[in-house]
Structure 1
Amino acid sequence: MSFGAMPPAWIADRRLTEFSGAVGVLGRSIAALKCHLAIAANHPRYSDGAVLSFFDIATLAKLSRPMVVEGLEMLRAFQLVEIEKKAVKNTNRYVLIGHHPDASFTKVPQDRISDRLRDIGNRGSAHLDALKIYLTLLFLRDNNTNVATVSHERLVHYTGVRPDAVARANSVIAALGMMLIRRSESEWSVSGHPTNEYTLLGDFAGTRPSRLLPSDKRHRLPPWQQ
């Protein structure tokens, strides 16, 4: 498996707007979305969840253990993830609520998440906005071309990101090598908003091996982090 399966309904329902950038909540919102991407990238389509340790999530997302806990708790409170304790040894099973193996799903490229998620900062509204927009673009990606043709207006609709913050968030994602951006040939949407073509990078075809080790060979957290 080189891509994970994420249910699309929560993005279509504009649930990303619930992840606030307010003072005191921003860090938890970033942690929650990074945890969600770490889980989604390792959530097989034909499976009942992603089996991961805290070490796996903390390493993929570059989060401290307390922030992993806070991020997962936010996802659980928003009813986006179910957590089954102690699935295998020091791991839990994380089930993305709404996923069904026979239903449509959004692909999440495991290679890009494994290599780049940790480089998205844990502070600052630009990084929260970048996570929201990246998730939305994955949802809107054309499966044949890997391109999402989207106006700023539509990104704002799905994410709640301020219109004047979209370009900065796009720059964060592009700088990490997670997508390419070019102005659409139509340039403007019907409503007069600029439209871009976003080419999502990564293995969406499932041709590369999984980036995670089998659960019995993963590193365990050191005692002081347990």
Structure 2
Amino acid sequence: MSGRKFGRLPNWWARSSWLVNNVRSNEIGGGIASMKCLLALSVLIDFHSRTASVSFTGMERLTGLSRPMIVKGVAKLEKDGLIKIDREMFVNSYELTVQPNDDRWAKVPVDTIRKKLNTISNRGMAPFVALKLYLTIISLRYQSNNTVKVTHETLRSYTGVQPNQIRFGLDVLYCSRLIHLQPKEDRESNIYEIIGL
């Protein structure tokens, strides 16, 4: 078990349409790799400095990705401005970036991600959609709540995912025990519990 209950993931990118414009379905493998690497770094970083030094072997264990896909994933995150990489040392150091006008962040459940991230497949549309939805759900969580009440339409607007794909992505998250669907209060919104927070 980790000493921390949650990691700190700056999430300005959720409000700048990164998941819609830069993580596209015509590059599913690279998209899965970049999202898995982002989640992995969020549970490894120092809470205050937003930096972590981690080997490729450590990233492979945590994400279930191959080394070439980790290279591809972190390269995309760096190109899109979500991370900075210091390659001066034997092991790379990664820093999650923030924006001057947006320093908000998402809580990421450390032990849950450490145990479950590598169980999500690295191929296919359903895992791709699942990771987009998970990043959105943790970004929409408010203050000390471990639940998020949200409509499919809101999830679609943050992710660019087609309506008929949302259910398949959610099924991956349920099976991986990353989120739990709570009973509905109304006909429009679902309540998702983020497991581990």
TM-score of the aligned structures, taking structure 2 as reference length? 0.91
Measured on the aligned residues, the alpha-carbon RMSD in Å equals 1.7
Equivalent pairs counted in the alignment come to 192
CA contact (8 A) 1:149 1:184 kept: no
Structure 1 unmatched ranges of 5 or more:
189-194, 205-226
Residue 48 of structure 2 aligns with which residue?
A: 46
The whole-number CA distance in structure 1 between the counterparts of 2:29 and 2:44 is 23
Is 1:16 aligned to residue 10 of structure 2?
no
2:97 paired residue number: 97
In our comparison, the structure showing a higher alpha carbon Rg is: 1
Distance 2:143 2:39 in 1: 19
Equivalent residues of 1:6, 1:99 under 8 A apart: no
Question: Could you tell me which amino acid in structure 2 is paired with residue 16 of structure 1?
Answer: L
Residues of 2 paired with 1:163 and 1:48: CA distance?
Answer: 34
Misfit runs of 4+, over 2 Å = 142-145
Structure 1: distance between partners of 2:92 and 2:99 = 17
1:140 — aligned with what?
Answer: 140
The answer for unaligned runs of 5 or more in structure 2 is none
Structure 1 residues 65-76: aligned runs within 5 Å: 65-76=67-78
Deviation at 1:95, TM superposition (A): 0.6
Query: CA offsets, 1:157-215, max 9 Å, x none?
Result: 00111111111111100111111113431222xxxxxx10000011x3xxxxxxxxxxx
Is residue 162 of structure 1 aligned with residue 165 of structure 2? no
Question: Which is richer in helix?
Answer: 2
Contact 1:19/1:29 (8 A) holds in 2 = yes
Q: Identify if the C-alpha distance between structure 1 residues 44 and 130 changes in structure 2 by more than 3 Å, giving closer, same or farther.
A: same
CA contact (8 A) 1:50 1:95 kept: yes
Identity over aligned residues, as a percent? 34
Distance 2:42 2:169 in 1: 21
